[in-house]
A and B are shown apart, each in its own frame.
Chain A
Amino acid sequence: MAKIDQLLQEIRTELGGDFVATDIVGSDGISIAGTSANPGYDGSAASARFAMVMKLSSKVSDKLALGSVQENMATTADMIVLARYLGNGSYFWVIAVPKDATLGSVRMVMNEYADQLWNAIPH
């Protein structure tokens, strides 16, 4: 688990000001690792809510025959929250960034770290 924490810290450093919080979440909605730059951000609530969102996303995609879900990105007045499945889909990665973050860089960082995070989760 130390490896995941180390990777999340690296991600936080890479994103710098473009970072609010991140969590690695199981399909039960429980976070197994996370870090936040905003004391007001409730990581447990975000994990639980986005587990529901990811489950419904899969159901929606299934009903519309669009193939398996990879990611959900919500844009609000204050932030962008990306939730992406890792590995075989038993975990997903939530990352929250400010609304004015450079989204292209955030997605690049996610592409770079997704496999590393999956490999760092004890199976």
Chain B
Amino acid sequence: MALQGNLRDMGVADLIQQTCQDRKSAFLTIRHDNSVASLYFKEGQVVHAKMGLQSGEEIVYRILAWEDGSFSLENDIEPPMTSIQRSWSGLLMEGARRLDEGRAQPAAGETPLLETKQSEVKYMASQLQEVLKGLGNEVNGYMASAVIGLDGISIAHDMHSSKADVDSIGAQTALLIKLVDTSAAKLQAGSLEDTLLTTENALVLIRFLESKRYFLTVVVDKRSASLGNLRLMSRIYADRVSKAIPR
């Protein structure tokens, strides 16, 4: 049976991320205004996209900008062909970059912002990296940290453990903080600040940054971690990270 829904409840990036994370082969149809796009997934990758007579990864970038419309996802459908080679995380990252650039397009008569924006992004990334390195020096049992957008894509990270995979950390912790945030809202418990996952081997603290458009994830080794140190340092460094992200 097909999973159906509205893009306002689950965005295109979330749909792609969820389907790929679950390593599904599936067929996704998205309707927006008078347009209909089709995406085919094979074993957790987007392999084909089609809209009208066009096909390929450009379609994915176009539909990532759709904020309203409906979707239908059917599992176990084989793609008729392959028109996309790029990984799903690469598609989402490139899509996010293009969306950002689109928002930065100047109005007629204004100075182009693209070059300025690119240098700002590089500067921001190096600033964030420095802040995360500082955090790594202060937290006991530190393994990894990342600044992640609500789309699950990391904008900066610092890994001390070779086992840590930033794409997985970004995608998984985005799903978790969104669910805990919705739960807190439903329970009228006030705005969510952070959520701390304690597992057999690690503590994972996920803390919203000021605007709630990004969050900070810190992973520490449970054996050498101190809960108080982790909570305090993540609070202090979340403020520093927020200040390093341009408004």
B186 adjacent to A49 (CB under 8 Å): yes
Picked from A56, A59, A74, the residue with its CB within 8 Å of the CB of B184 is A74
Cβ proximity bits B187-211 to A, threshold 8 Å, 1 near / 0 not:
1111111111111111010000000
Residues facing B in A55-93 (CB within 8 A) are 56-57, 59-61, 63-79, 81
Smallest CB-CB separation from B171: which chain A residue? A63
Contact partner, A74, options B168, B192, B199, Cβ 8 Å: B192
Classify the secondary structure of A's interface with B. mixed
The yes or no answer to A42 lying at the interface (CB within 8 A) is yes
| CA gap between A41 and B165 in the complex, in Å | 38
Identify the B interface with A (CB < 8 A): 21, 163, 165, 168-169, 172-173, 175-176, 179-180, 182-184, 186-202, 204, 219
Q: A61–B21 contact, CB under 8 A?
A: no
Known: A63-B21, A64-B202. 7 other contacts (CB 8 A): A42-B187, A66-B202, A72-B180, A72-B195, A73-B196, A74-B180, A79-B190
Name B's interface SS.
mixed
Size category, A interface: 20 to 34
Provide 16 A-B residue pairs closer than 8 Å at the C-beta atoms, listed in order of the A residue: A60-B173, A61-B199, A66-B202, A67-B199, A67-B201, A71-B196, A72-B198, A74-B189, A74-B195, A75-B192, A75-B193, A76-B191, A76-B192, A76-B193, A81-B184, A81-B187
